[in-house]
Amino acid sequence: MKAIRILTAAAVVLSLTLVASVEASQVGLSVEMSNPLLKAQKKQTTFLKVGLTGFKIKSAKTRAPVNITLVLDKSGSMQGTKIDEARRGAIEAINRLGVNDIVSVVTYDSTVEVLVPATKLTDKASVCQKIAQIQAGGRTALFAGVSKGAAELRKFRDKDRVNRIVLLSDGKANIGASSPTELGALGASLKKEGITVSTMGLGLDYNEDLMLQLASRSGGNHIFVEDAEHLAGIFKDEFNTVLSVVAQEVAVQIDVKKNIRPVRVLGREAEINGQQVITEISQLYSGQDQYVVLEVEVPATPVGAATQVATVQVTYDNMLTKATDKLTGTASVNFSDDDKAIASQLNPQVLEASVLLLANEQNKLATILGDKGDLAGAQRCLDANTRFLKKYAAELNSDELRLYYTQNARHAELFKNGQYNVGRKQMRSDQFKADTQRGY
């Protein structure tokens, strides 16, 4: 027995050293312009893409320890299959964690109960047993549930751990703060501490805006689970992401050069302070690509005047080396009169990302119109968006854009068939995925 333990320890040490030496345990940074060659003597906007790639972790043993809080809805509407599946999903997910991980479970209905206070997962059985005893009944004190969950998480909050709240709800919050803005503000505040909140909306009765705001402003995931039967799989996926985090608190700072104006960051919350753009990506998963697309306005410039657009500085907490790494990059453009040359130098990847995010903005606009009751306007907006996507999908020969325009066309169908109310959750969830580059 002892021998085995020593052997295992040795293997861990060996693999760690191997990983450290063999793996490129650094986040990859790319800073690119959609149009490296711009038309001269013309004021125009163009896109700058900061691409980040999470390095791959080869073995599950090298993953960062996690500090996770499950905040589970046990309101009356959860009765039946939903609570059964939620219990099963949570237990299965917890069984995938190890002894170095910290787990806590908070349940809420009209009130909140800290079912399992934050603890190292040395006694899985008792945690699972407690989860198995959850019974549904009552109203939905969602805000309080997240508050208590965050407090549990904070007990062991650590830069070297993946700190995440996983919130499950199937209904509208009706006790305590319950507006999307309030929950979003809480998410933003938690993000500053390095806590992300992933939200799982179950069924068709939850408030997707609230759940989305909380997830997006805290940097977590949002998953729309229409059918409770899929819950276990969703829990598994969510834990997969948590267990594959390689970098945390990825702060991206883009210093835009004088005369060039930063217009907006597409699909992401960012702070534009004059010439400085600051945004933060909460977590990067193993092998995951994340990017920030900044729209900039370039003044009319003569031919041949090579101009640096911005310098980019990225700092992040490396979960493998437990160090804070710093990356830098720059982007510049050239100016030409030669339209052909300009076209040939287009960066299809940057353009693809930009188009996708721009189209997503349009898609969100359609939601806003739909919410106002302007179904025809929303449909027109989506139709135009489909055409726009189709054009670029052909031009860039992009499968991703093709996928996106079929999705966009599907959304348009919702308005056409008067199924907006039913499809809204899916649509919002799709928008979220596009913004956070989670794939489709």
Partner 1 sequence: MRATPVILLVLIVCLPVALLAWLGSRMASDEQTVVEQRFRSLLTAQLRDIDQITVAHFAVTQRELRAIGKLPSFQPADIRSRLREAPLVRQMLVYSPNGDVLHPSGPLNAGEQEFLLQASDLVTDRDLFYAAGGKRRTARPPQRSARSAAPPAVERQPDAPAKDEAQEPAESNTTPPSPTEGWHIWYWGRGVHLFYWQRLNSGHVVALLVERSRWMADLIATLPQTVSAASEATPSSSKGEAARKAGGKASPSVSEVTSSRIRLLDSVGRPVYQWGSYEPDEAALEKPFAEVPVSSPLTSWRLQAFVPPDLVQGASRSARFSMTASLAAAAVALCLLVAFFWREYRRELREASQRVSFVNQVSHELRTPLTNIRMYADLLESDLDRMPDDETTQPRSRLKVIAEESQRLSRLIGNVLTMARQQRKALALKPQPAIVDDVIRDVLRQFEPALSRCKVEATFEAASGESVSVDVDVLEQILVNLFSNVEKYAAAGGVLRVASSQTDKTTTITVSDAGPGIPPRQCDAIFRPFYRSSDRLVDAAGTGIGLSIARELAQLHGGDLRLVASETGACFEVTLKTG
Provide the mask over 253-292, with x wherever binding to partner 1 is found by CB under 8 A and - wherever it is not.
------------------xxxx-x-x-x------------
Query: Among 23, 92, 113, 325, which residue sits at the site for partner 1 (rule: CB under 8 A)?
Result: 113
**Which of 119/332 has CB closer to partner 1?**
119
Residue 168 interacting with partner 1 (CB under 8 A): no
Cα(222)–Cα(432) distance, integer angstroms: 7
In angstroms, the CA 110 to CA 143 distance is 11
Binding segment for partner 1 among 181-189, 300-308, 315-323, 426-434 (CB under 8 A)? 181-189
Number of residues that bind partner 1 (CB under 8 A): 41
Name every residue whose Cβ is closer than 8 Å to that of residue 27 and which is 6 or more positions away in sequence. Answer: 52, 53, 54, 55, 246, 247, 250, 284, 314, 316, 318, 325, 327
Q: Which C-beta is closer to partner 1: that of 62 or that of 69?
A: 69
Q: Which is nearer to partner 1, 138 or 423 (CB)?
A: 138
CB 296 within 8 A of CB 264: no
Q: Decide if 197 contacts 165 (C-beta within 8 A).
A: yes
d(CA 176, CA 68): 24
Residue 185 near partner 1 by CB under 8 A = yes
Q: Which stretch binds partner 1 (CB under 8 A): 28-36, 178-186, 232-240, 358-366?
A: 178-186
DSSP 255-310: EEPTT-EEEEETTS--EEETTEEEEEEEEEETT-EEEEEEEEEE----TT--EEEE
Among 63, 87, 148, 411, interactor with partner 1 by CB under 8 A: 148
**196-202 vs 222-225, strand pairing mode:** parallel
Binding characters for partner 1, 400-439, by CB under 8 A (x = yes)? ----------------------------------------
Strand 162-169, strand 196-202: pairing? parallel
Q: Can residue 79 be called a binding residue for partner 1 (CB under 8 A)?
A: no
Per CB under 8 A, 143 contacts partner 1: yes
Least distance in angstroms from the C-beta of 375 to partner 1: 30
The 289-298 sheet, strands edge to edge: 28-33, 44-53, 289-298, 261-265
Helix and strand totals (H; E) in the chain: 12, 16
Options 71, 112, 252, 327; binder of partner 1; rule CB under 8 A: 112
Q: Which residues bind partner 1 (CB under 8 A)?
A: 110-115, 117-118, 130, 133, 138, 141, 143-144, 146-148, 150-152, 175-177, 179, 181-183, 185-186, 188-190, 192-193, 271-274, 276, 278, 280
